[in-house]
Structure 1
Amino acid sequence: MLEKEQNFYQMRMQELLQEIDGISDKLNKNLNINDLIKYKQLVQSFLKEATASAYLVKEQRSFSRRGARSVLISIETISREVEEVLHGFMTRRKEPMEVLATLDKIR
């Protein structure tokens, strides 16, 4: 069962990367808002799925001696391989990512 899930996950990630590459090529030829929005959505989906499998977020709530609430959030790396893929993805796609970051700042 675990192997099936892992194969499905890998296929899904490959599909997302292929779609991102296709949209990226379109954007390099002709920059239009519809492709830019689709590119942003695909990148968000890819990063969301990849980080979900690479990291585990734990949240602990506690009270201090004075009764104040405190929240401790820790992030653990589950898979170094996925983390390396994420890093490679981010460094490989700097230019469109800079465009998206600028657009987000404008909003």
Structure 2
Amino acid sequence: MEAAFVILLNSDLYNYVRRLQTDICKLSGAKETLKIEPHITLKYAFNVKNIKTVEKYFDEIAKTTRPFKIEINGINLFPTQVFFVDVTKNQALTNFHLKVLRDLKEKFSV
């Protein structure tokens, strides 16, 4: 089974990005843009043997991670017509990202 690790946006940012996606879709006809919910990808799709153990890890890290700020730097479009937001790197986000990657490698050999 495949899994990915993403950060879901708070409601204000989610709504803002979704409006941008809708506007871009109306202007460009890039309907693919609306197929994916707004999020920040930390780890692209990877194969796992047991999804339940990965879900348990995701739940645990969500419970134990303190909220941190994420700043949006701009918007862009992948060649596949999928819209994305550029995220400004900051230490909290970098630390969280590295922890997730390290944990996934140690716990799930990903």
Common topology (TM > 0.5): no
Q: Which has the larger radius of gyration?
A: 1
- Higher fraction of helix: 1
**Higher RCO (CA < 8 A, seq sep 6+):** 2
Q: TM-score, normalised by structure 1?
A: 0.29
Q: TM-score, normalised by structure 2?
A: 0.28
- Higher fraction of strand: 2
